[in-house]
Amino acid sequence: MNAQPPNKSRPVLPLLVLHIAAAGVCFAFFSITPVAVCLVCMAIGNDPGGPMFFPIFVMGTILGAAAITALLAGAALLSDLLRRRYHVPLWLPPLVVFALATVLCWLLFSRAQPAVPPLVGVVVAIAFIVHWAAVSAVWFLPRLLFGLLHIDYAPQKS
């Protein structure tokens, strides 16, 4: 099976639905994971952190996850649209995201240690790859499930 979606057979509306579903998966990942880690650390340390710590932490995590998901969804949709039109290699969009995040960090935080901007670039590129993997999973898993259950699925030809 080919994990890459075909370039010409996907119309734009299902592509948008695909990216919205992947954004939902990434939002859940980026919001549930930090809250779960915080709960585990609070239980291990036996320190709830005060009466307002957890509600404020959850609110900040949700806002951060929404901002991260919006940026990553925009970058993934733009890269997918560019890949459909210009045959961009698969490795190029994460590399461009890494370079943009590193340069932006150098410009915004010029007094930071020299190792900080590349580390920020790596973290943002990994987050982009996680989002892009969610896009691929949302596209690939239903087709795999249809194949395993022997359900005839024929995409509409345009």
* Confidence at residue 1, expressed as pLDDT on a 0 to 100 scale: 46
pLDDT tens-place values along the chain, 158 residues long: 445 555 555 567 777 878 888 888 889 888 998 999 999 988 898 887 788 899 999 999 999 999 988 988 888 888 878 877 887 777 788 888 889 888 988 888 888 888 888 888 888 888 888 777 777 777 777 777 777 777 665 555 55
Contact (Cβ atoms closer than 8 angstroms) between residue 126 and residue 98: no
Predicted local confidence at residue 90, as pLDDT: 75
The predicted structure's pLDDT at residue 79: 81
What is the rounded distance in angstroms from the CA atom of residue 135 to the CA atom of residue 17? 10
Query: For residues 137 and 21, is the Cβ–Cβ distance under 8 A?
Result: no
Threshold 0.75, pTM exceeds: no
Cα of 12 vs its chain's centroid, Å: 20
- The phi, psi pair for 109, rounded to 5°, reads -120, 65
d(C-alpha 114, C-alpha 69), whole Å: 27
Domain ranges of the chain: 12-148
